[in-house]
Structure 1
Amino acid sequence: MTTWSRFLLLLLGIAWTSVSTEAVKEKGNHLAVVHVIDALPKKSKPMSLECKSGRTHEGLGQQTLNVGDDYKWNVEENATYYCSALWGRYFGSWHGFQPRRDVGHGTIYWRVKDNGFLLSWDRTSWVRKGQWETE
């Protein structure tokens, strides 16, 4: 099985197991701002990133991040948002926004490093929540 087919299977598994809560979308309001920061080693190849709502499966579009880039978006509904990344021969996924974990935090920060995906609400203390996979 190739890396790409494993990545697609991972995405399908995430879609099937998505758990979301009732939408609370209101005009002009948002629940939080999520930042995904590319903190990969200097001179790394760009990372491809895609995040989407687990409730509507509406994607935020595919992004290409270079080292140091900070991609951000507003969470508009009370649902789990899934992020997946591809970096060279590595792939990974994580919950970019998870209502039970993140509601009440105005900003959620994700730092993507070569050893995984780290979460913070204050940009001071970081907890690794996932890691890269490869074939």
Structure 2
Amino acid sequence: MDKTTSLRYSSSTLLLLLFLLVLTSTATTSSSSNKQQDEQRQEEGPHKKLSMVDIRNDLPPNSPRLYVLGTFQSTEAPIDPGKSYNFVARGEVEVGIFTMDNQCAKFVAFDPNVELGRHAIFWSVRSDGPYHSWDRSNWQKKASWQPIDNC
């Protein structure tokens, strides 16, 4: 092998080794980044996932105006009959109150320990109080209307 061929061979070998070094370094960094993301997701746990809370006014059309207020809504928000109010729960307990004329009903709109990582929580406000559901089929009454002074 002459000197020129030997130099080309050495240069090619050096470039190949450099390429392999960069490739290995990139794979290690990517693997480390993925591991950190997986660990962060595990730390967040199921209660840190976002959940949509749907509150529907199922009162008769001639009912007094319904309002909702809570940790998720700092001012009274009206909900018309047959309409919904929605918010995204971010893994923390969300409490609220419904008001209608001189009546009120307190409720826990979202509790991560109760909702168990569900992505949708439903509320139906009815003549006898608010109802809770996870599937819009099975409803459980959670409160009754009270005089406004009791809230």
Segments of structure 1 that go 5 or more residues without pairing to the other structure are 1-23, 54-58
Coordinate RMSD, CA, aligned: 1.8
- Supply the AA of the counterpart residue of 1:127: Q
Match of 2:142 in 1: 129
Structure that is richer in strand per residue? 1
Amino acid at match of 1:71: Y
Deviation by residue 1:94-130 (Cα, 9 ceiling, x = unmatched)? 0000111113211000000011110000001100011
Segments of 4+ in structure 1 off by > 3 A? none
Identity %: 21
* The structure with more radius of gyration: 2
State the structure with bigger RCO (CA 8 A, min sep 6), 1 or 2.
1
Note the C-alpha offset of 1:66. 1.2
**Distance (Å, rounded) in 1 between the aligned partners of 2:100 and 2:69:** 12
Deviation at 1:30, TM superposition (A): 4.9
TM-score by length of structure 1 reads 0.69
Instruction: Quote the offset at 1:131 in angstroms.
Output: 1.0
Q: What corresponds to 1:51 in structure 2?
A: 70
Unmatched segments (≥5 aa) in structure 2? 1-43
For normalisation by structure 2, the TM-score amounts to: 0.62
Q: What one-letter code is carried by the residue in structure 1 that aligns with 2:54?
A: H
For residues 60 and 72 of structure 1, do their structure 2 counterparts lie closer, same or farther at Cα, with a shift above 3 Å needed? Answer: farther
Counterpart contact for 2:124–2:132, Cα < 8 Å: yes
Aligned residues: 102
* 1:67-113: CA deviation from partner (whole Å, max 9, x where unpaired): 1110001112x221011111011111100001111132110000000
> Is the 2:67–2:76 Cα contact (8 Å) retained in structure 1?
yes
Are positions 1:64 and 2:78 aligned together?
yes
